[in-house]
Amino acid sequence: MKIILVCSAGMSTSMLVKKMRSAAEMRGMDVEIEAVPESQLKNNVEGLDVVLIGPQVRYLEKKIREFVEPKGIKVDIIDSIAYGMIQGDKVLEQAISLNN
């Protein structure tokens, strides 16, 4: 599964990506997780399954949905509490449930 987190600058999101990768590794999952600014999303859709949008850029949701949903890619806003507390396991679970 390939997951992209869309953010603005990427500091807290990159920490969340590390936690998500650790959670996936503990589950024995084969996942690719990256954080990119919205401007780079178009360069990263190949093989993409899920886009999770950082709460601080939730205003981009409509634009992102219009771009990726026709390609069969699932989209959601990252739970703000899980994001703020950098709970990689919970955000990974959010991505998994979207992809099922």
What positions carry a catalytic annotation? 7
* Contacts of the segment 69-74: beta carbons below 8 A, 24+ positions apart: 71/45, 73/45, 73/48, 73/49, 74/49, 74/50, 74/98, 74/99
Residue 43, SS3 per DSSP: helix
